């Protein structure tokens, strides 16, 4: 993250061209689950990032925010927040960084506007080829049942 440092020191660079004020990103830490020896019982290394989507809307736009809600899946809560956990590392700092990376990935994917599908219909030649192939296949099947004298 050092190479894409934001212009504002109180902002975190989340995606290319998007610096989010640090006060919008709330981190909490908890004890991780799973193996890790006695350290697991003493250290709060699991990071949980919470972001209110309405706070991001002015920065990313209404349409991108709507796609973000759809893409977020289990990270999106009923009260319109993103709650992104990470407990992949034993380090609190690394887990915090992973949370930001997950948010970055979601926003980058939400920024891509899907292409609208153009309705098409098959050409007359394609229809004729399909019907011809069906008739040929039907003839093959019909000949299977014929008895020879």
Per the structure block, which two tokens stand in for 137?
């296949």
141 class by beta-carbon count within 10 Å (0-12 exposed, 13-18 middle, 19+ buried): exposed
35 class by beta-carbon count within 10 Å (0-12 exposed, 13-18 middle, 19+ buried): exposed
Cβ neighbour number for residue 84 with a 10 Å cutoff: 22
Interhelix angle 62-72/53-60, rounded to 10 degrees, is 130
Is the pLDDT assigned to residue 125 strictly greater than 70?
yes
Is the pLDDT assigned to residue 66 strictly greater than 60?
yes
All structural domains of the chain: 11-111 (3.30.160.20)
Is the pLDDT assigned to residue 36 strictly greater than 60?
yes
Q: pLDDT tier at 34 (50, 70, 90 boundaries)? A: low
Q: pLDDT tier at 38 (50, 70, 90 boundaries)? A: low
């Amino acid at each position: 993250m050092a190479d894409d440092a934001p212009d504002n020191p109180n902002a975190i660079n989340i995606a290319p061209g998007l610096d989010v004020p640090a006060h919008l990103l709330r981190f909490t830490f908890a004890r991780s689950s799973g193996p890790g020896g006695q350290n697991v019982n003493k250290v709060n290394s699991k990071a949980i990032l919470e972001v209110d989507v309405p706070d991001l809307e002015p920065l990313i736009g209404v349409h991108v925010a709507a796609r973000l809600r759809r893409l977020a899946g289990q990270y999106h809560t009923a009260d319109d927040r993103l709650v992104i956990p990470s407990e992949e590392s034993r380090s609190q700092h690394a887990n915090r960084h992973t949370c930001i990376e997950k948010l970055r990935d979601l926003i980058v994917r939400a920024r891509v506007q899907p292409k609208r599908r153009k309705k098409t219909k098959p050409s007359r030649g394609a229809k004729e080829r399909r019907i011809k192939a069906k008739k040929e296949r039907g003839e093959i099947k019909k000949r299977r049942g014929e008895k020879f004298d």
